Amino acid sequence: MAEPKHPVRTVDRTLEILEIIQELDGTGVSEIADRVDIGKSAVHNHLSTLANREYVVKEGDEYHIGLSFLGLGAYARNRTEIYDTARPEVEKLAADTGELVNLMVEKNGSGIYLYQAKGENAVQLDTYEGKRVGLHCTALGKAILAFRPRDEVADVIDEHGMPQMTEHTITDRDEFFEELDRTRERNYATDREERLNGLRCIAAPITDDNDRSIAAISVACPAHRVSDERFERELPDAVLGTANVIELEHNYS
């Protein structure tokens, strides 16, 4: 993402404060001041302004993200073309598999969870709609990157790196490109406890007419509960079928 020619420092600082509050799931003035390296009075002025517009709320000595962001987030999500097409298919796949189903898009080299649906046996995770994660350590991210040009993938790695999330995370560039080649050949990606220990995922890309990924859909389930047979045959077939339906409806409706 290109840097602005004339950034407004006050706006940048405000957004930084909001990101810190979200990252820490609520925090106080002193913690924020230490993180952004400005005085407590300046932090308080930012927070007071945000609280007045209900973008943050104060609970005791801590500030949390306010509900005013909910309307903005829902509006942004609804403007994403793939959302309306994919939502009913995501919900159907969750009902059919009984698991957690995710829809992800890529923005500026990160993965953003656009929508989630939970089946009756869905695992409870740290993910939520709007959460950003690295593309290298998720089946969703690998499904997206496998259907992007190699130089574009290299740029993503150069900018964001390949931090190790678990002992199973792929952190070697050559190994990662081999993984993307396998993903493209079979048309789906796997995550074998690469972002979270105990979690396995199957994801398929959703591509446009030019075979470029625009999103990905996944099924996530606990490693101890999914058999190899289900993980390697049943779930890939289900995810691929759903991705195909979404592609057809999105590209040709």
Q: Parse the chain into domains and list their residue ranges.
A: 9-66, 76-252
Sign of the dihedral defined by the CA atoms of residues 238, 125, 153, 148, in that order = positive
Instruction: Indicate whether 76 pLDDT > 80.
Output: no
Average pLDDT over residues 224-247: 94
Instruction: Indicate whether 79 pLDDT > 80.
Output: no
Is the CATH number 1.10.10.10 carried by domain 9-66?
A: yes
3-state secondary structure of 202: strand
Cα of first residue to Cα of last residue in the chain, in angstroms, is 32
pLDDT in tens, 117-168: 999 999 888 888 888 999 999 999 999 999 999 999 999 999 999 999 999 9
What is the topology classification, in CATH, of domain 76-252?
A: Beta-Lactamase (3.30.450)
The chain-wide mean pLDDT, for the chain, equals 92
Q: What is the pLDDT of residue 3?
A: 64
- Which secondary structure element, helix H or strand E, spans residue 85, and what is its range? helix 81-97
Query: For residues 93 and 101, is the Cβ–Cβ distance under 8 A?
Result: yes
pLDDT in tens, 80-118: 788 999 999 999 999 999 999 999 999 999 999 999 999
Q: Write the burial class of residue 223 (CB in 10 Å: 0-12 exposed, 13-18 middle, 19+ buried).
A: middle
CA–CA separation, 204 vs 215, rounded Å? Answer: 9
> Could you tell me the pTM of the whole model?
0.82
**Confidence grade of residue 1 (pLDDT, cut at 50, 70, 90):** low
pLDDT in tens, 170-221: 999 999 999 999 999 999 999 999 999 999 999 999 999 999 999 999 999 9
Q: What is the pLDDT of residue 101?
A: 97
Q: What is the pLDDT of residue 49?
A: 92
- Which secondary structure element, helix H or strand E, spans residue 220, and what is its range? strand 213-222
Q: What is the pLDDT of residue 23?
A: 82
**Confidence grade of residue 235 (pLDDT, cut at 50, 70, 90):** very high
Q: What is the pLDDT of residue 4?
A: 67
**Edge-first strand listing for the sheet containing 213-222:** 132-133, 110-118, 100-107, 213-222, 199-207, 189-192
Instruction: Indicate whether 74 pLDDT > 80.
Output: no
Q: What is the pLDDT of residue 216?
A: 98
